[in-house]
Amino acid sequence: MRGIVAVLTTAGALAGLSACSRHTAARRPAPAPSVYAVDQTMRRQVTNAVDAGEGDVRVAALRRKVVAEPANVEARMELASYYDQLGFRELAAEHYRSAAQHAPGRGDAHWKLARTLRGLGMRDEAISGLQKFVREQSAADIEVMSWLGILLDEAGRLVEAEASHRAAKSLNGSVEFVYNNLGQNLMLQGRAEEALAEFRRAVELKPRSEIARNNMGLALAAASAKNPEAAREALKQWQSVADPAAAHNNLAAALMEQGRYAEARKELEAALNIRQGFLPALENLRLLSQLDGGAVSYAVEPVSHSGWRRVTAALHRWFISSEPVGAQR
């Protein structure tokens, strides 16, 4: 089911729902290790990065230090971070890779390399690198285990991912992101009640977390088929991070995902009674009229905003974090 629109944060971020797939990214073959030496994109990035660094005293100093001291991991990590921020991901990956080779026990070099490779569409290589780190290093690393779980989730390897998320939680049970990540994995496996327990704990640890409360709303909406009270609690969670109209629209989107069209229509009408002309609710109402054959209760003009069509992530991909520590995605 494409095109369902949800408004999930106070900033009005949009996400689409899809009942048809879990929206795992397509697998891409890993390129040959030598490709960077001759690749034209890499050459352009080197040239652009040099140009970008001109006049930046700190970057120039880091480049000189990396050349003079190839094994200086701190300088290489800092330079990699700089290139990553500028969007030179290939260069950032090479510096993170070199740092990981010079300091094989540094988890931050490995998970930052994996994150960068993920951004380059090289998820399988990222997974392999983190798995190798886990096998070879005796010291466990919460960031590594969290990122390995995220990548395995995206690859559809949910049972392996669950083990990684649980390992991360066992390393530090006082940070909310490990509960959010595990809860997301359980939702992907269709285990909403177990996921709800994880999200509740995340909210307890960080009550103002929009991610945790939105995730909790999703789990409650999934549980509401058997427990009507859960729908009201889901609405309450969404109202804590969005305005009332957006909260009703979000619940409607979740109900549409489950095929509960009559209930979804009531929520959409509630959203539009609160805020007339609310575009996400109008778009969902238009789609709902196509799905259930019911009348469109409000004057709904065709939506031309291309954003609705571009944003089509699956329901349970809304809030998996891109930063497993501290700032969450």
The pLDDT of 242-252, averaged and rounded, is 93
CA Rg, the chain, in Å? Answer: 22
| Same domain? 17 vs 102 | no
Does the residue 278 lie in any domain? yes
pLDDT confidence of residue 5? 67
Tokens linked to 260: 């509960």
Residue 223 belongs to what domain range? 1-24+208-329
Percentages (nearest 5) of helix, strand, coil residues in the chain: 65, 0, 35
Does the residue 183 lie in any domain? no
Number of C-beta neighbours around residue 47 at 10 A: 10
- pLDDT, tens only, 28-85: 333 444 444 435 554 455 455 555 444 466 767 777 777 777 778 888 888 888 888 8
Q: Domain holding 302: CATH number?
A: 1.25.40
| Same domain? 212 vs 328 | yes
From 121, 136, 155, give the residue that closes a domain.
155
| Same domain? 264 vs 321 | yes
| Same domain? 263 vs 296 | yes
The pLDDT of 303-313, averaged and rounded, is 38
Q: Strand, coil or helix: what is 179?
A: helix
Q: What's the farthest any 2 CA atoms get from each other in the chain?
A: 72
Give Cα separations from 53 to 59, 68, 74, 88, 240 (angstroms).
6, 18, 18, 12, 44
Measured CA to CA, the distance from residue 141 to residue 127 in angstroms comes to 15
The pLDDT of 180-189, averaged and rounded, is 96
The pLDDT of 14-23, averaged and rounded, is 30
The pLDDT of 283-298, averaged and rounded, is 81
The pLDDT of 310-327, averaged and rounded, is 40
| Same domain? 12 vs 47 | no
pLDDT confidence of residue 8? 53
The pLDDT of 216-236, averaged and rounded, is 91
Q: 1 or 121, which is more confident? A: 121
The pLDDT of 200-227, averaged and rounded, is 92
pLDDT at 13 over 70: no
| Same domain? 18 vs 36 | no
pLDDT at 7 over 90: no
Q: Under 8 Å CB-to-CB from 50, ≥6 apart: which residues? A: none
pLDDT confidence of residue 71? 78
- Asked which of 75-79, 172-176, 243-247, 315-319 is least confident by mean pLDDT, the reply is 315-319
Tokens linked to 99: 């740092």
Give Cα separations from 133 to 95, 282, 323 (angstroms).
17, 49, 19
pLDDT band per the 50, 70, 90 thresholds, residue 143: very high
Please name the helix (run of DSSP H) or strand (run of DSSP E) that holds residue 34, with its range, or none. Answer: none
Measured CA to CA, the distance from residue 129 to residue 35 in angstroms comes to 18
Give Cα separations from 260 to 153, 209, 266, 293 (angstroms).
27, 28, 11, 13
| Same domain? 112 vs 43 | yes
Measured CA to CA, the distance from residue 314 to residue 61 in angstroms comes to 45
Does the residue 217 lie in any domain? yes
Nearest Cα neighbor of 112 from 140, 151, 144 is 144
| Same domain? 217 vs 304 | yes
| Same domain? 20 vs 43 | no
Among left, alpha and beta (phi > 0; psi -120 to 50; other), residue 304 is alpha
The pLDDT of 15-29, averaged and rounded, is 31
pLDDT band per the 50, 70, 90 thresholds, residue 274: very high
Domain count, the chain: 2
The pLDDT of 119-134, averaged and rounded, is 95
| Strand ranges for the chain from DSSP E | 4-7, 14-17
Nearest Cα neighbor of 191 from 218, 211, 213 is 218
Burial category of 5 from C-beta neighbours within 10 Å (exposed 0-12, middle 13-18, buried 19 and up): buried
Measured CA to CA, the distance from residue 216 to residue 228 in angstroms comes to 15
Q: Strand, coil or helix: what is 14?
A: strand
- Asked which of 19-28, 98-107, 198-207, 283-292 is least confident by mean pLDDT, the reply is 19-28
| Same domain? 76 vs 18 | no
With beta carbons less than 8 A apart as the criterion, state whether 21 and 317 touch: no
Does the residue 168 lie in any domain? no
- Asked which of 205-209, 288-292, 316-320 is least confident by mean pLDDT, the reply is 316-320
| Same domain? 218 vs 304 | yes
Does the residue 161 lie in any domain? no
- Triad 240, 243, 150: Cα angle to 5°: 55
| Same domain? 136 vs 225 | no
Does the residue 76 lie in any domain? yes
pLDDT at 10 over 80: no
